[in-house]
Amino acid sequence: MKTIAFLALLLAVLPLQAEDLHPAADAPGFVPMFNGKDLTGWKTTGNWLVEDDGSVSLHPREGEKGWQRYDAYIATEKLYGDFVLDLEFKINAKGNSGVFMRVGDMKEPVKTGFEVQILDTFGLEKPGHHDCGGIVHGIGPSKNMVKPAGEWNRYTITVKGRHVTVVFNGEQVIDTSLDDIKMADRPNVGHIAFQDEALRVWYRNVRIKELK
């Protein structure tokens, strides 16, 4: 009996492993956001393609550039309120994209939603709001967790009410309120979208758990 009690106490005080901060593959309540075959449930004018391995990637067309081609972003048809969004992403050197949430109007995603940045800022000592893991125009990540270009990274983003947390490659880097980072006007319900910066980006294992 004493042995069992000791083991329980030991488990309670041991630090969490990095993977423990992300939901398990079989965590209840999560559903995939892509079907692995096509873009059903999403809308875009950009050249987003489903790869043979089921990941979704952007193949910029010749002549495309810039980030203000909002209709080229890939966005959910469905609106989401409170949720846990879990995904992996990969970029090339100098890559740039972003995960937009609760976008009220896809014609103005920057002004009517908020973005967790995806950017090739590997090695940066003190990341800010516009660096990978930060909420753009809001708050920077507490730590730079992005891997070198070409490697897969993972976000688990929890949005509940006005509260937002971001776990980035096993480290919680954001814990804030939208009202405290000058985003009090952002809606509580909206689209989820991935930014088209006319640069290659890959997403896989994108799944969501809606919170009641």
Q: Which domains does the chain have, with CATH numbers?
A: 2-210 (2.60.120.560)
Residue with tokens 């990341």: 127
In tens, the pLDDT along 115-166 reads 999 999 999 999 999 999 999 999 999 999 999 999 999 999 999 999 999 9
pLDDT of 106 strictly over 60: yes
Detail the DSSP E strand segments found in the chain: 31-32, 42-43, 48-50, 56-58, 74-76, 83-91, 96-103, 114-119, 153-160, 163-168, 171-177, 191-194, 201-210
pTM exceeds cut of 0.85: yes
Residue with tokens 């030991």: 10
pLDDT band at 19 (very low <50, low <70, confident <90, very high): low
Half-sphere exposure for 41 (CA within 13 Å, toward CB)? 13
pLDDT of 6 strictly over 60: no
In tens, the pLDDT along 77-90 reads 999 999 999 999 99
Q: What is the pLDDT of residue 212?
A: 86
pLDDT of 16 strictly over 80: no
In tens, the pLDDT along 29-73 reads 999 999 999 999 999 999 999 999 999 999 999 999 999 999 999
